[in-house]
Structures are given as C-alpha cells and as structure tokens.
Amino acid sequence: MTDLPGIVITGASGRMGQMLIRTVLESDRARLVGALERLGHEWVGRDIGEAMGGARVGAMVSDDPLELFARAQAVIDFTAPEATVEYAALAAQARAVHVIGTTGFSESHLTKIAAAAHHSTVVRAGNMSLGVNLLMQLTKKVAAALDEDYDIEVIEAHHNRKVDAPSGTAVMLGEAAAEGRGVRLDDVSDRARDGITGARKRGDIGFSVIRGGDIVGEHDVLFAGAGERIVLRHVASDRSVFARGALRAALWGQDKGPGQYDMVDVLGL
C-alpha cells in the first residue's frame, strides 16, 4: 500500500479541503500523507479524522508545508491566492505535483506560479469537474460558429461565502468564448454594469454574478441573438465532482515533466 502516491491536502478545514480529504481516504489509488492549515489554526497538531469530527485516520494536520511536501508525491491545493503562490514555490522545491484549484489570481500571482512550474508539474484549473471542462469545449465551438450578432454573456451563481468574482470558471468560459471568436478576452470583457451604461457594445463578452445561500456552483453561457437564444449550462450540486477531478489530476501528473497543465490535458479533451 505504501507505494501508492502520497497526497497532501492544503486548507484542511475548508469546504474543499474536507471534501478532498474524504476523497483521498476513500481512494484505493492514493494515500493521505497529511493535511495543512495555517499557523495558529485550531486543527494544527490534531489527527485529521478527529479534527473533522470522525474516527482517527493516522495522519496529522500540520502547519509546516515543506516538511509535509517533502514526504508527498502530490499537493492538492484549494485555498487562497497568497497561500497557493507560497505553496507553489515549496512544492517545486520538493518536486511534488501541485494541483491548484484556487481561484482569484492576479497577473503577478500567475507569474510566480509559472516560475514554480519550471521545476515541478503544476495542474491548474478554475474548475476540476468533467462537465465544466466539456462545457468549455462546447463554448469555444458555439462561439466560433456564431458571429457578433449573437451577444455572449457568462452568468454564474455561488454560495454566500465565496470571496472572488467573477468565478474562476466564469473567466475560463469567457476565455473559451473569446478564443472561439478569435479575440482576446481582456479586449472585450464587460464586468461591471451600473447606472447609465449606454447600449451594449457589439462583440463584448459580459459577466453577471449571483451570490446566495449554499449554491455549489452554476454557470450559464448565453448566446443571445435576434429572435433566439442558446444557453449552455452546467450545474454542480456536489463538491465531490471537483475533488474527484483534482485527485485524478494528481495521479495523472505523476509521470509528467515540469510545466503547466490544465484539466483539458488531464481529461484528454
């Protein structure tokens, strides 16, 4: 059993952290090396299973990333941009595969992750589900087939604890639509509408954000033309779809060289 790839989960107490821990514990293809929380967090020093309110699992919650990463083959990281950038450098040092689900990065964060990927295998995606990655391919195809007579809008809905907007998935879908149209998303993105905005600019890709309750994650890509509308939709009803995708990415990355990959690579789409 010990030659199974060893996995570290960051953000142990988080919504995704706990789902990832359960997914690795249930897997017969990976073993849980440990989990990470920030310095001073009440879970640090406790058995992971007990901290989660269940039975002992024999692996601990730590606040020492480098020590943990050095004993692992992969790090699965759904935390926050600042933390992920720090973990990227440490995972590279430990030569562990770094699976990044965190969203909300700035350009400067992404530059640091790219630097780490010179030394380690990084798989990063704003959404690890099979469904959303298929939806991206469909979005690209529909955007390529339709001209600018069809206005493209990306609409996303998430729970009331989400801190970044628009979602990483919405940005990925916007990028797929822009790629289909042969334009740069930065040139056509319309993220803020309030007051007298003027009429919609032809060719823009608009974003709308809903936050409420316990919505796991819902994304629509709307192509609105004269007399008809096409809506491509994905609804996540359970976070396990993200966790299963992330574990798949960690295993897929084991025989890859340094570089940046995404879920389209992992899923072979």
Ligand X SMILES: NC(=O)C1=CN([C@@H]2O[C@H](COP(=O)(O)OP(=O)(O)OC[C@H]3O[C@@H](n4cnc5c(N)ncnc54)[C@H](O)[C@@H]3O)[C@@H](O)[C@H]2O)C=CC1
Which residues are identified as catalytic? 158, 162
Q: Does 16 contact ligand X by CB under 6 A?
A: yes
Give the DSSP letter of residue 201: P
**Per-residue binding letters, 142-181, with ligand X (x by CB under 6 A):** --------------------------x-------------
Handedness of CA 209, 239, 84, 247 (dihedral sign): negative
Cβ of residue 39: shortest distance to ligand X, in angstroms?
8
- The count of chain residues that interact with ligand X, using the rule CB under 6 A, is 24
Burial classification of residue 185, based on how many CB atoms lie within 10 Å of its CB (0-12 exposed, 13-18 middle, 19 or more buried): middle
The two structure tokens encoding residue 71: 């004993």
Report whether 237 belongs to an annotated binding site.
no
What is the C-alpha separation between 179 and 143, in angstroms, rounded? 8
Q: Does 15 contact ligand X by CB under 6 A?
A: yes
Report whether 102 belongs to an annotated binding site.
yes
State which of residues 5, 6, 7, 17 lies at the interface with ligand X (CB under 6 A). 17
Q: Does 74 contact ligand X by CB under 6 A?
A: no
From residue 156, how far is each of 127, 144, 210, 237, 263 by CA, in Å? 13, 22, 6, 14, 20
Give the DSSP letter of residue 5: P
Q: Which partner in ligand X, ligand LZUJQKHR, none is near 158 (CB below 5 to 8 A by kind)?
A: ligand LZUJQKHR
From 9-17, 90-98, 111-119, 221-229, give the range in contact with ligand X by CB under 6 A: 9-17
Which residues here bind ligand LZUJQKHR, judged by CB under 6 A?
103, 126-127, 158, 162, 167-169, 217
Report whether 133 belongs to an annotated binding site.
no
From 78-86, 142-150, 177-185, 203-211, give the range in contact with ligand X by CB under 6 A: 78-86
The CA-CA-CA angle for residues 251, 256, 260, to 5°, reads 95
The two structure tokens encoding residue 147: 């001209």
What is the C-alpha separation between 98 and 87, in angstroms, rounded? 8
Q: Does 242 contact ligand X by CB under 6 A?
A: yes
Q: Does 46 contact ligand X by CB under 6 A?
A: no
The CA-CA-CA angle for residues 117, 129, 92, to 5°, reads 15
Q: Does 104 contact ligand X by CB under 6 A?
A: yes
Residue numbers in the known binding site for NAD(+) are: 11-16, 37, 101-103, 125-128
